[in-house]
Structure 1
Amino acid sequence: MRIVIAGGHGQIALRLERLLAGRGNEVAGIIRDPDQAEDLRTAGAEPVVLDLESASVEEVAAVLEGADGAVFAAGAGSGSGAARKDTVDRGAAVLFADAAERAGVRRYLLVSSMGADPDHRGDAVFDAYLRAKGKAEVYVRSKPGLDWTVLRPGMLTNDAGTGLVLLAESVKRGAVPRDDVAAVLAELLDTPATTGLTLELTSGPTSVTEATKTAAR
């Protein structure tokens, strides 16, 4: 498979690139900073330098042409303000969805966040983040040309992954290592029966493979 990942230098994305490349997939990661390219090559991915805050649908669709799946794992980052939460966490996800549809790439995974809600109230930057993620979810779900799955991880940690998770449409709030988020994303790409589902994710008692199979039933 050929998989294109938006936000290719993100902490989850780099882990996912290593996983997918290790399984023999062709992986491309979209990045804004050319200085990050070598990190992607080390992870086994082809770096594609493109700014999703200013690119056109046609430019992004050209990158997606011929891909088997698209993963939106981009984010404005912890140091950004409310405006960039909107332009990246919402706007870039919308652009990437439009481009995937135009390129004929049906499988689309959106990395969102537990608590995402387009009507979330509050004036803090994190409130803006949850609104932006929620609006991105609503838009992606509206796209008839996409076989989408939304993944909503809980609090992300850099602890070593355990391979044991809780994955369902609703789970109790909790934490999850980025390693395990990447492992679940890789499994979702191989599980088209999860199309049309919004799944929450935390650490739990079940292997990634079994949890994904159960969620798909």
Structure 2
Amino acid sequence: MRMVIAGGHGQIALRLERLLAERGDSVVGLIRNPAQADDLRAAGAEPVVLDLESATVAEVAAVLEGAEAAVFAAGAGAGSGAARKHTVDHAAAVLFADAAEQAGVRRCLVVSSMGADVRASGGDPVFTEYLRAKGAADDDIRARTALDWTIVRPGALTNDPGTGRVRLAASTGRGSIPRDDVAAVLAGLLLTPATAGLTLELVSGADTVPEALRTATTV
């Protein structure tokens, strides 16, 4: 299968690229910084330099042409201001979805965030804007009928080694999860079309990844 991952140099994306390449998939990672290309190649992915904050739908669709699935794992990242939460976490997600539709790519995964909600308020103002931007992007994706989308909302992310044990459900309660395990779940979701149309929270738990994927299809 050919997969295209937006935000290809992100910590989750690099882990996902390795997993997909190891199982024999062809993986393309979109990056904005050419200096990151070698990291993607080391993970087994083909780097394509394309800035989603300035690219057109047609430019992104050209990269997505012929892919079986698209994964939006981009984010403005720590240290960015509120404005970039909306240009990356919201607007770039919408652009990527538009491009997937134009290219005829139906399967689409979106890495969102637990608590993503356009009505979020209070607390750190930049983080609030981040949640609002993620929530707005999720709302846009959920309104689309031309995509077989699944939205994944992980809890607090850690760099601890993955355990292979997770909880994946419409509502999991607060919790944390290693990025290794998020990547493993995303890789599994790409082979689980029955999860299309679901918004799923993800934290560490008692289920193996295959068990969690089977349970999620009954949500």
TM-score, normalised relative to structure 2: 0.98
Residue correspondences, number: 217
The answer to whether structure 1 residue 105 and structure 2 residue 110 are counterparts is: no
The one-character-per-residue Cα deviations of 1:126-170 (angstroms, maximum 9, x if unpaired) are 000000000000000111110000000000000000000011000
CA RMSD of aligned residues (A): 0.6
The answer to whether structure 1 residue 126 and structure 2 residue 127 are counterparts is: yes
Query: Equivalent residue of 2:131, what SS?
Result: helix
Residue in structure 2 matched with residue 114 of structure 1 by the alignment: 114
Gaps of 5+ in 1: none
TM-score, normalised relative to structure 1: 0.99
The one-character-per-residue Cα deviations of 1:41-97 (angstroms, maximum 9, x if unpaired) are 000000000000000000000000000000000000011000000000001000000
The answer to whether structure 1 residue 180 and structure 2 residue 181 are counterparts is: yes
Query: Equivalent residue of 1:35, what SS?
Result: helix
Query: Equivalent residue of 1:79, what SS?
Result: coil
Looking at structure 1, the residues matched to 142 and 205 of structure 2 have their Cα atoms a distance apart, in angstroms, of: 27
Residue in structure 2 matched with residue 15 of structure 1 by the alignment: 15
Looking at structure 2, the residues matched to 130 and 205 of structure 1 have their Cα atoms a distance apart, in angstroms, of: 27
The one-character-per-residue Cα deviations of 1:189-213 (angstroms, maximum 9, x if unpaired) are 0000000000000000000111011
Q: Percent identity?
A: 72
1:4 is displaced (CA, Å) by 0.2
Looking at structure 1, the residues matched to 144 and 105 of structure 2 have their Cα atoms a distance apart, in angstroms, of: 12
Residue in structure 1 matched with residue 29 of structure 2 by the alignment: 29
Looking at structure 1, the residues matched to 166 and 18 of structure 2 have their Cα atoms a distance apart, in angstroms, of: 20
Looking at structure 2, the residues matched to 198 and 172 of structure 1 have their Cα atoms a distance apart, in angstroms, of: 14
Residue in structure 1 matched with residue 51 of structure 2 by the alignment: 51
Which amino acid in structure 2 is aligned with residue 174 of structure 1? G
Query: Equivalent residue of 1:27, what SS?
Result: strand
Gaps of 5+ in 2: none
Query: Equivalent residue of 2:96, what SS?
Result: helix
